[in-house]
Amino acid sequence: MLSGEIQIRVRYAETDRMGLLHHANYLVYFEQARTELLRQYGASYKDLEDQGYYLVIAKVEIKYKSPAYYDDVLTIRTTVVRTTPVRIEHRYEVFREGVLICEGMTTLACVDKQGRLQAMPRWLMEAK
């Protein structure tokens, strides 16, 4: 399975009054990790969109185990766990100093410019 890791430092603007990483920012981090995984494979979302393929979020799941704080350095491991002709599923694991603090899953659907489901490019379906 295609997998990769990135590191992100929690910025002050991403935290709440308690100094915790706001829960919504995990989705932003997941997107950044997905984007970098695709780039690692030699492509980008811009490449896909320029070819008329748009990947939209169809489903998100997040399980928070422990909070992240301002200035923490987080490692996000992203793995493609399943592909179908029109969908791709990613698993995310967020670590702080080697300890798993968050898990997530996303399902992205491939659509055209009008928002209709379409088959993904073959090379993306075959990414392993």
List 94's β-bridge partners, or say none.
Answer: 76, 102
* Residue entry with tokens 């490449």: 47
Q: Is 80 helix (H, G, I), strand (E, B) or coil?
A: strand
| Strand order across the beta sheet in which 54-64 lies | 3-9, 73-83, 87-96, 99-111, 54-64
Q: Does the active-site annotation cover 47? A: no
Q: Kindly name the residue from 16, 47, 71, 112 that is annotated as catalytic.
A: 16
Active-site amino acid positions: 16
